[in-house]
Amino acid sequence: MARTREFDTDKALERAMDLFWRRGYAATSLQDLLAELSIGSGSLYAAFGSKDKLYARALERYCDRHAGGLVALLENADEIRPAVRTALMQMVEADLEDPERGCLLVNAATERGGDPETVDRVAVTLRLLESTLAAALEKARARGELSAEKNPVELARFFTTFVQGLRVVGQARVGRSFVEDAVETALRSLD
């Protein structure tokens, strides 16, 4: 008879996400995961399949949570410029508060660029951000907030790329004024 699972897989996934986010995939050993989750290897394999599959689920959770927050902010925005500024400054503040952590999406793209599943998850998330930004910018253009000459898709791609660079620069600890100047310059692309 199969044993009943004796741990909360949702909490375990949350803790694994945090560990991968803090340390990265390669620097997180199976032993580290077992200790962090307070489970045995049999339980980890039964619940998640493997370290790779656990990482994939942790990355998916991160992307759903963080991209979902940005999507909600942009979809509910009355004005585009304050919404984009708010989103960018939230990232700046997160990086200033904990520069070592950075962004798990950026970390995944740079550390696991050879893993097709990771690459797919990163690409799906970036495309979601791009399409959400493009839709919000299109609405802003229809409301007259954005010049008719501005291309919402091109701007969305610029901001999607800018966000990833902003997260990398945040880990480099270049300081508040550096990143705030960059944000203000990026926002001028909406003029």
**pLDDT tens-digit series, residues 12-56:** 999 999 999 999 999 999 999 999 999 989 999 999 999 999 999
DSSP string, 11-57: HHHHHHHHHHHHH-STT--HHHHHHHHT--HHHHHHHHSSHHHHHHH
**159, 133 contact by CB (below 8 A):** yes
Answer yes or no: pTM beyond 0.95.
Answer: no
Residue 4 has pLDDT above 90, yes or no: no
Instruction: Name residue 72's amino acid.
Output: A
Cβ–Cβ under 8 Å, residues 83 and 73: yes
Mean pLDDT of the chain: 92
Q: Average pLDDT for residues 90-106, to the nearest whole number?
A: 89
Residue 25, CA atoms < 13 Å, CB-side half-sphere? 23
CB-CB contact of 147 with 52 (8 Å): no
Handedness of CA 103, 105, 108, 110 (dihedral sign): negative
Residue 39: both structure tokens together = 């489970």
DSSP per-residue string spanning 122-155: HHHHHHHHHHHHHHHHHHHHHHTSS-TTS-HHHH
- d(CA 57, CA 59) in angstroms, rounded, equals 5
**110 pLDDT above the threshold of 50:** yes
- For the cut 50, the answer to whether the pLDDT of residue 1 exceeds it is no
Assess whether pLDDT exceeds 90 at residue 99. no
* Position 3 confidence tier, pLDDT thresholds 50, 70, 90: low
Please check the confidence at residue 2 and state whether its pLDDT lies above 70: no
Q: Which fold has domain 56-190?
A: Tetracycline Repressor; domain 2 (1.10.357)
pLDDT tier at 11, thresholds 50, 70, 90 = very high
pLDDT for residue 23: 94
